[in-house]
């Protein structure tokens, strides 16, 4: 399950980059900017939800064909669980990754964007391992 979800995340990111339109890129940029303004220390659950929703925004670009709705829901939930596990100390890492992702998508670098998403998930998994918290469902730490 772990490798499969990471594969889906990277596939969706790559496909979204290829199919990205200017209005959708603007919506993605606005969403990332809004999440960046939310306080991390108080209300991390709310910010983790907003961070996890980036997958929905990317999946919206490619539609439901390559992303079954149930998998989409599971992927967002798993990403949320992972972010809650690592906690607000990961906020800067997550925000930095989102900014790099936006630059790569804006440049049309599908491979770079997919690699950024994959590396981001690996960093979060590593942080979850270090936290000693219980394993989030879906992405084995």
Whether 22 is in a domain gets the answer yes
Domain count, the chain: 1
Whether 16 is in a domain gets the answer yes
Report H helices in the chain.
2-19, 22-37, 44-52, 54-62, 69-86, 91-106, 110-131
What range does the domain containing 11 cover? 2-131
Whether 141 is in a domain gets the answer no
**Residues belonging to the chain:** 141
* Measured distance CA(32)–CA(102) in Å, rounded: 9
| pLDDT tens by residue, 27-47 | 999 999 988 888 888 889 889
Whether 58 is in a domain gets the answer yes
Whether 70 is in a domain gets the answer yes
Q: Residue 52: what pLDDT?
A: 85
Whether 66 is in a domain gets the answer yes
* Measured distance CA(93)–CA(85) in Å, rounded: 14
Please provide the average confidence, as pLDDT, over all residues in the chain: 86
Q: Residue 7: what pLDDT?
A: 87
Residue 139 has pLDDT above 80, yes or no: no
| pLDDT tens by residue, 54-88 | 888 888 888 766 667 777 778 888 889 999 999 99
What residues contact residue 134 under an 8 Å CB cut-off, 6+ apart?
Answer: 85
Residue 47, sorted as left (phi over 0), alpha (psi -120 to 50) or beta, turns out to be: alpha
Assign 110 a pLDDT band (cuts: 50, 70, 90): very high
Q: Residue 120: what pLDDT?
A: 94
- Residue among 124, 130, 95, 139 at smallest CA distance from 3: 139
Give me the mean pLDDT over the 4-11 stretch. 86
- Here the CATH number for the domain that contains residue 64 is 1.20.120.530
Q: Residue 70: what pLDDT?
A: 77
């Amino acid at each position: 399950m772990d490798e499969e979800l990471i594969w889906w995340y990277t596939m969706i990111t790559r496909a979204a980059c290829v199919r990205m339109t200017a209005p959708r890129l603007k919506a993605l940029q606005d969403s990332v900017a809004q999440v960046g303004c939310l306080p991390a220390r108080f209300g991390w659950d709310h910010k983790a939800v907003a961070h996890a929703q980036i997958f929905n925004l990317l999946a919206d670009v490619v539609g439901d064909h390559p992303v079954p709705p149930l998998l989409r829901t599971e992927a967002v939930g798993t990403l949320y669980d992972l972010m809650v596990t690592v906690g607000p100390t990961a906020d800067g890492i997550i925000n930095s990754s989102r900014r790099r992702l936006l630059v790569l998508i804006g440049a049309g670098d599908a491979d770079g964007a997919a690699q950024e998403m994959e590396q981001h998930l690996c960093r979060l998994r590593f942080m979850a391992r270090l936290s000693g918290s219980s394993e989030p469902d879906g992405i084995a730490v």
